[in-house]
A and B are shown apart, each in its own frame.
Chain A
Amino acid sequence: MIERTVTVVPEDGLHARPATKFVETVNEYDSEITVGTPDDGDDLVNAGSILAVTGLGIKTGESITIRAEGEDEQEAMSALESVLTTPETDEE
């Protein structure tokens, strides 16, 4: 099991397109992935649900804790960190 805390870079925070991209990435991996705010302790939610992820209400500049457990946990964690630390470049 690995756990990281990452600062969310996309301007909208974990909403809309970044949230969708995050959840899609989670669902590409077999590992069990949960997320929460650093205050949530062990009370993490299913990272594969947009509703649950949006419900965290994480804004840009705030931190998110990601926990991954499974065969591909390293790959999953790297991919998720990259989603959260890449600013959105194609704003319309």
Chain B
Amino acid sequence: MALNEDNPPLTTDLIALDGAPQNKEGVMEFLLDLAVDAGRVTDFDQALQDLQEREKQATTGVGMGIGIPHAKSAAVVQPTIAFTRVPEGIDFDAVDDEPATLIFLLLVPESGGEDHLEMLSSLSRSLVHEATREALLEAESPERVQEIVLEAVS
């Protein structure tokens, strides 16, 4: 998808290398808080509700240690990715029962059309590679995470 380079979906204030809660609900709220603080989301409760609705359809614990909760929501200002990691791993209702260590929150505005699906599939395609997952687990700065993720989705 065409991304605005001056206004990328992921900025360093949307990346928390540590400090996330150790459960699925908690991590989703933690990432959503980052998105609210970054001015990407106008209504925390609305966005959370939209994320939970999507989660009810099918888990976003897609396996290989990855969780990608995502939603299209009227509470979202612009396409946004927030990232955190939980080295110990958390239960994300994963299809392969593996604990999730890398968590991405994907949000797009209601008017975003299929943008979120394109962002989701580019990110998924890149996360299939073990090298990408390891680079994200080992990244020592938010800048490094941003570089890896933006390369994946652009």
Contact = CB atoms under 8 A, between A and B. Distances in A.
A55 B58 contact: no
B128 A57 contact: no
Contacts of B128: 45, 49, 51-52, 55
Interface stretch (B15-23, B24-32, B119-127, B136-144): B119-127
Contact of B117 (A15, A21, A23): A15
Contact of A16 (B57, B63, B126): B57
B63 to A, nearest CB: 6
A24 B96 CA distance: 10
Interface residue range, chain A: 20 to 34
Contact of B62 (A21, A51, A92): A51
A50 B68 CA distance: 11
Contacts, number: 58
Interface residue range, chain B: 20 to 34
A83 to B, nearest CB: 13
A49 B64 contact: yes
A19 B121 CA distance: 12
Interface in A16-64: 16-17, 19-21, 23-24, 45, 49-52, 54-57, 59
A15 B64 CA distance: 17
Nearest to A15: B117
A57 B95 CA distance: 19
Interface in B35-77: 53-54, 56-59, 62-64, 66
Interface of A: 12-13, 15-17, 19-21, 23-24, 45, 49-52, 54-57, 59, 92
Q: Which A-B residue pairs are the 10 nearest by beta carbons?
A: A57-B121, A55-B125, A20-B58, A55-B124, A54-B124, A50-B62, A17-B58, A17-B57, A51-B62, A51-B124
